[in-house]
């Protein structure tokens, strides 16, 4: 134990010294990150041959802490780029690593994720975007949807079907798609709450060089699952998303805040989607609804749900840290509970607001935030895996009940699917 702490301390000292001589808030952001990469501090959790030092998570956290103390900025932050970094590092060819990792870390390249399609929502593996090898190049045709930030992405993580004569999971391949080419058209996708946080991507004879296939043909489904598992990994030094260094005025911080804003913009309505439970008691006090015994019941139900869901998550966290193996996947349970919280919160907000629930816009309750809750909450039980999919997961994987009989196990060519008009 003391030895580990000693080691962390020496890391802290080393990175501190390095930052003291290299960190300069007057440099342009990308230039600074080039220095960071050269110094080996952009991705200390990565292997040494790829800008890293092979640090474990505790060591990476120690580095991050020093960065934060010195208000030094790290590698480009989160978003689909995190997934791209993860998959290229883990499964990419040498050539792919050489070409993509550096601009991912400096933030010069933006990425997006091209998995979902209009015809395959819950059934991701039922995708029908087609990639055909013609004259030594992959020609891609199809349509993707729910793509965050596609409109300023340089590259996309693409799933496309390359073999129609095998069962659906086996015919999918994984590509790194250059978004800056004529065959790519990106259109904003407006949601019922008025935001356009996502895009539709229409792909018409887009070209992918064979060296931009990840893994082998048919590996796509496995690689897609691997990709999603990178959502929580932490081997790169990036600022916490909540730390904006708002008081700092040096140009590099300005540039950095623009980068963050662009990244976070699509998510601005997510707190409303979750139900804004935090607003319930203040608003109930303000409107007088807090004195209504019937609404008190509804508010209390909401608080119970919300509080207990946090407790379940905390317990799952404690169990996972301790390595104990409780069979309950807190993920699906929490996801279902949060759908219910959002529904109940929208219900409570409606009745707390009374007649004000009729109105929208900046002059409405809480500057329109309440209306935004009412119009966003339906997404909570759909996005990221519908309630129905979560219930399948729980009943089959946790409770061990039999799987739904499948009718889509034959060659994909013969499986019924939706006809989508682009």
Partner 1 sequence: MSLPLTEEQTHFQDVVTRFLADNADTARLRRQIELEAGYDRETWRRLCCELCLPGTHIPEEYGGHGFGPVEFGIVMHAMGRFLYSGPFMASAVMAAQAILIAGSEDQKRELLQDIASGSVVAALALDEWTRPDALGTRVQADRTDNGYRLNGSATVLVDAGVAELFIAAARGPDNSVSLYCIDAGASGVAVSSLETIDLTRRAARVQFTDATADILGVGDSLDIERLWDHLCVALALEMLGGAEELFYSTVEYMKMRVQFGRVIGSFQALKHRCADLLVSLELARAASQHALHCLASGEGDVYAPNMAKAMASEVYMDVARAAIQLRGGIGFTWEDDTHLWFRRAKSSEVLLGSPYWHRERMMQRIEELAHAA
Within 184-213, the residues that bind partner 1 by CB under 8 A are 189-192, 194
Rounded Cα gap, residues 151 and 185, in angstroms? 9
Return the residues of window 289-308 that contact partner 1 according to CB under 8 A: 290, 293-297, 299-301, 303-305, 307-308
Instruction: Give the one entry of partner 1, a copy of itself, none that residue 394 binds, where binding means its C-beta sits below a cut-off of 5 to 8 angstroms depending on kind.
Output: partner 1
Distance CA 370, CA 380 (A): 16
Of 422, 414, 408, nearest in space to 124 by CA: 408
> By the 8 A CB rule, do 129 and 203 touch?
yes
Beta carbon of residue 262, minimum distance to partner 1 (angstroms, whole number): 22
Instruction: Answer yes or no whether residue 297 interacts with a copy of itself by CB under 8 A.
Output: yes
- Counting contacts by CB under 8 A, is residue 294 touching a copy of itself? yes
Nearest CB to a copy of itself, comparing residues 400 and 402: 402
- Residue 216 binding result from partner 1, a copy of itself, none, given CB thresholds of 5 to 8 Å by partner type: none
287 makes contact with partner 1 (CB under 8 A): no
- Is residue 25 within 8 A of residue 250, CB to CB? The reply is yes
Q: Which of 327, 355, 405, 419 binds a copy of itself (CB under 8 A)?
A: 405
- Nearest distance in Å: CB 410, a copy of itself: 15
Which residues, 106 to 145, sit near partner 1 by CB under 8 A? 116, 118-123, 126, 145
User: Whose structure tokens read 């979902």?
Assistant: 116
Structural tokens at position 18: 């390095």
Of 231, 254, 388, 396, the catalytic one is 231
Dmax (CA) for the chain in angstroms is 74
Min dist CB 183 to a copy of itself, Å, is 38
Q: How far apart are CA 310 and CA 406, in angstroms?
A: 35
Mention every residue, 6+ apart, whose C-beta is less than 8 A from residue 120.
126, 127, 128, 417, 418
Query: 49 an active-site residue?
Result: no
| Size of the chain in residues | 422
Q: Which of residues 172-211 bind a copy of itself (CB under 8 A)?
A: none
Give yes or no for residue 406 binding partner 1 (CB under 8 A).
Answer: yes
Out of 49, 242, 402, 421, point to the residue binding partner 1 (CB under 8 A): 402
Instruction: State the DSSP code for 85.
Output: H
- Residue 389 CB, shortest distance to partner 1, in Å, is 10
Q: Are the C-beta atoms of 147 and 199 separated by less than 8 Å?
A: yes
Q: How far apart are CA 165 and CA 216, in angstroms?
A: 17
Size of the site for partner 1 (CB under 8 A): 93
- Binding residues for a copy of itself, rule: CB under 8 A, are 293-294, 297, 405, 407
Active site residues: 231
């Amino acid at each position: 134990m003391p030895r580990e702490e000693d080691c962390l301390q020496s890391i802290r000292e080393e990175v501190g010294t390095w930052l003291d001589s290299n960190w300069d808030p007057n440099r342009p952001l990308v230039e600074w990150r080039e220095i960071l990469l050269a110094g080996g501090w952009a991705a200390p959790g990565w292997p040494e041959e790829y800008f890293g030092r092979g640090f474990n998570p505790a060591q990476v956290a120690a580095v991050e802490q020093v960065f934060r103390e010195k208000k030094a900025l790290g590698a480009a932050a989160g978003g689909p780029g995190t997934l791209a970094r993860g998959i290229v590092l883990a499964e990419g060819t040498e050539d792919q690593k050489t070409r993509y990792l550096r601009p991912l870390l400096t933030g010069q390249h933006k990425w997006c994720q091209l998995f979902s399609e209009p015809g395959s929502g819950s059934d991701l593996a039922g995708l029908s975007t087609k990639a055909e090898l013609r004259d030594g190049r992959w020609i891609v045709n199809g349509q993707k949807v729910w793509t965050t930030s596609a409109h300023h992405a340089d590259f996309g993580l693409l799933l496309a079907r390359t073999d129609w004569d095998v069962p659906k999971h086996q015919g999918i391949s994984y590509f790194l798609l250059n978004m800056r080419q004529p065959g790519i058209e990106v259109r904003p996708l407006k949601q019922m709450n008025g935001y356009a946080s996502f895009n539709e991507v229409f792909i018409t004879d887009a070209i992918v060089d064979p060296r931009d296939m990840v893994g082998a043909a048919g590996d796509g489904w496995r690689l897609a699952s691997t990709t999603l598992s990178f959502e929580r990994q932490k081997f790169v030094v990036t600022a916490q998303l909540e730390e904006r260094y708002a008081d700092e005025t040096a140009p590099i911080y300005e540039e950095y805040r623009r980068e963050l804003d662009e990244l976070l913009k699509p998510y601005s309505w997510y707190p409303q989607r979750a139900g804004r439970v935090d607003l319930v008691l203040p608003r109930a006090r303000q409107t007088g609804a807090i004195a209504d015994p019937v609404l008190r019941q509804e508010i209390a139900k909401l608080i119970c749900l919300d509080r207990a869901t946090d407790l379940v998550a905390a317990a799952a966290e404690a169990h996972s840290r301790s390595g104990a193996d409780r069979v309950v996947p807190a993920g699906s349970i929490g996801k279902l509970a949060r759908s219910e919280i959002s529904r109940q919160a929208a219900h409570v907000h409606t009745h707390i607001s009374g007649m004000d629930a009729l109105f929208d816009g900046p002059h409405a309750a809480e500057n329109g935030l309440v209306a935004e809750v009412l119009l966003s909450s339906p997404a909570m039980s759909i996005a990221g895996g519908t309630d129905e999919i979560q219930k399948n997961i729980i009943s089959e994987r946790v409770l061990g009940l039999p799987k739904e009989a499948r009718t889509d196990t034959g060659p994909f060519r013969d499986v019924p699917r939706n006809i989508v008009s682009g």
